[in-house]
């Protein structure tokens, strides 16, 4: 919101000297084969099949892992570091639902990691609070936001989908849809830096109202 302490904070694109690109993938925990409500989702630094493979320190959890909440960052001491990551289907996007029919995305409109085009489906991931369900929760079969129709594409100020994340590489596209605030000023992404989903067009040099915190504050 416009009165929050991080409103107007300068944003940086994720790039060198970090290891681009940013990707989104999930750790198949093996409780049930195939993506399900036990699998953990991450914003990951570098290709999903990078060397060394697996979850890296400072990757961002988009769903909880045990007592570690959505929005937390992986540290070298955590049990999920190094675990393999898999891509979502080619249809996967970051999309939003226009609940009240306004001209663009606003504070009341929920955002999801959507597995399919068109409507919310079971195990889609909420990136914002939806009817008391917190960011990082997954859509269940009896939840009120199943199914909800995603907003038609290519609004002039708020794109839908906001980003694509599907395919064999899981690359966030366009890359400026996810940026970070360089909190300690060392010109690269690391643990103190908060990560944001940029919801409007054109991409802004600063955090704006309705941008979504994917991590932090660390």
What was the pLDDT predicted at 101?
Answer: 84
For residue 115, being part of any structural domain is answered with no
Detail the DSSP E strand segments found in 66-218. Answer: 93-96, 111-114, 125-126, 163-164, 178-181, 194-197, 212-213
For residue 188, being part of any structural domain is answered with yes
Taking only the tens place, the pLDDT of each residue in 36-84 is: 999 999 999 999 877 677 999 999 999 999 999 999 999 999 999 999 9
Percent of the chain with pLDDT over 70: 98
What was the pLDDT predicted at 203?
Answer: 86
**Alpha-carbon torsion (39, 197, 214, 101), positive or negative:** negative
For residue 117, being part of any structural domain is answered with no
For residue 66, being part of any structural domain is answered with yes
For residue 100, being part of any structural domain is answered with no
For residue 129, being part of any structural domain is answered with no
Start-to-end CA distance of the chain, whole Å, equals: 19
Q: Return the percent helix, strand and coil in the chain, to nearest 5.
A: 0, 25, 75
For residue 194, being part of any structural domain is answered with yes
For residue 68, being part of any structural domain is answered with yes
Taking only the tens place, the pLDDT of each residue in 189-207 is: 999 999 999 999 888 899 9
Taking only the tens place, the pLDDT of each residue in 117-154 is: 999 999 999 999 998 999 999 999 999 999 999 998 87
What was the pLDDT predicted at 217?
Answer: 64
Looking at the structure of the chain, the number of domains it has is 1
pTM confidence score: 0.95
The domain of 41 spans: 1-93+159-218
Band (pLDDT 50/70/90 cuts) for residue 33 is confident
């Amino acid at each position: 919101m416009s009165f929050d302490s991080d409103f107007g904070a300068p944003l940086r694109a994720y790039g060198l000297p970090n290891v681009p690109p940013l990707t989104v993938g999930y750790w198949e925990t093996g409780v049930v084969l195939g993506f399900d409500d036990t699998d953990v989702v991450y914003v990951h630094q570098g290709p999903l099949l990078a060397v060394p493979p697996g979850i890296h320190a400072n990757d961002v959890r988009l769903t909880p892992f045990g007592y570690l909440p959505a929005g937390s960052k992986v540290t070298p001491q955590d049990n999920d570091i190094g675990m393999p990551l898999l891509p979502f289907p080619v249809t996967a996007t970051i999309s939003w639902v226009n609940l009240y029919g306004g001209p663009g995305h606003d504070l009341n409109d929920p955002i999801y990691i959507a597995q399919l085009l068109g409507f919310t489906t079971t195990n889609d991931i909420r990136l914002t609070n939806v009817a008391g369900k917190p960011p990082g929760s997954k859509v269940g079969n009896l939840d009120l936001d199943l199914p909800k129709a995603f907003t038609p594409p290519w609004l002039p100020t708020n794109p839908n989908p906001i980003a694509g994340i599907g395919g064999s590489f899981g690359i966030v596209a366009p890359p400026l849809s996810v940026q970070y605030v360089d909190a300690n000023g060392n010109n690269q992404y690391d643990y103190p830096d908060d990560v944001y989903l940029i919801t409007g067009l054109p991409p802004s040099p600063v955090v704006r109202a309705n941008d979504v915190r994917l991590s932090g504050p660390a």
